[in-house]
Amino acid sequence: MEAAATRCYRHPSYETYVRCTRCDRYICPDCMREASVGHHCVECVKEGQASVRRARTVFGGAVGGGAVPLVTYVLMALNILAYMVEVVRSGTVDRFGMLGAVLVDQDGGQYYYRGETYSGLELTGVADGEWYRLLTGAFLHLPPDTSFGVMHLVFNMFALWDLGRIVEGQLGRARYLALYLLSAVGGSVLVYLVSPETTAVGASGAIFGLAASFYVINRRLGRDMRAVNRFMAGFLLWMVISAAFTSWEGHLGGLLTGGLVTFGLAYAPAKLRTSATQLAGGVVLVVLLAAVVAVRTASLTGTL
């Protein structure tokens, strides 16, 4: 006697006699997935994949997850887009470049600045509440009408492409993006501390942070450091040489911040190397940088 026909639990119009060997539900050919024994349904396959932990690097990035350095490409695109805006709108650098505190003649109010009282002027920069400059300046570059011009952008984008792909592959996209942004802000904070009247632009601070991260990553992985040491020596030499025409403060601030962040990711105890703990550490660093900026602002404007 022929058994009564049963129907697929996902496609009731299909008659079938095959069951999922995991959940025992009837499945049609469209829902069958090859298994070591029999067939599994689509939902059981998804559940099985979700329960498998993906291999990760010692820094938290997924092994093989950085095959396409998406964040690096996006950051490069944002820098290039910002430069195109500079070409069209000449005042972009003045409005969004990293500038700590400057008094300009715009018939403003009365300000106490660096121990003196000024009337008829206007305070401009981070000290006047324009905190966004700490980040936006890192996506701008020297205007095309300057002597260095577009080469500033080209050099930085080449370095970002060269370093970013490696660092992103080890840290994973989220940690890599956090490292980049924190290094950029760290560079701007040191500019604010040392040279608040100087306008600084460029991705160099973030890229020096990537260079420091690259160094820590290779040391943590136990690789041959001779080539890495030569690479870092070249970066440091460039920081010294370029101090005559670029912001060494931004470079050094980014270098220190990037190194600190990656050191924490690489050498924290295993039980603290979780996403939640790393997020908390990033938040603490942001709060510390904000506190430094607040204290510096108070010292400049006499509110301390």
Phi, then psi, of 111 in degrees rounded to 5: -130, 140
Residues assigned a catalytic role:
204, 251
**Which SS3 state, helix, strand or coil, does residue 110 take?**
strand
User: From CA 269, how far away is CA 81, in angstroms rounded?
Assistant: 40
Tokens of 214: 């690259």
- Cα dist from 12 to 3, 15, 18, 26, whole Å: 17, 8, 14, 10
User: From CA 222, how far away is CA 226, in angstroms rounded?
Assistant: 12
Structure-token match 């984008």, residue found: 157
Torsion, Cα 66 69 74 76, to 10 degrees, reads 140
> Which residue, among 189, 9, 157, has the nearest Cα to 81 in the 3D structure?
157
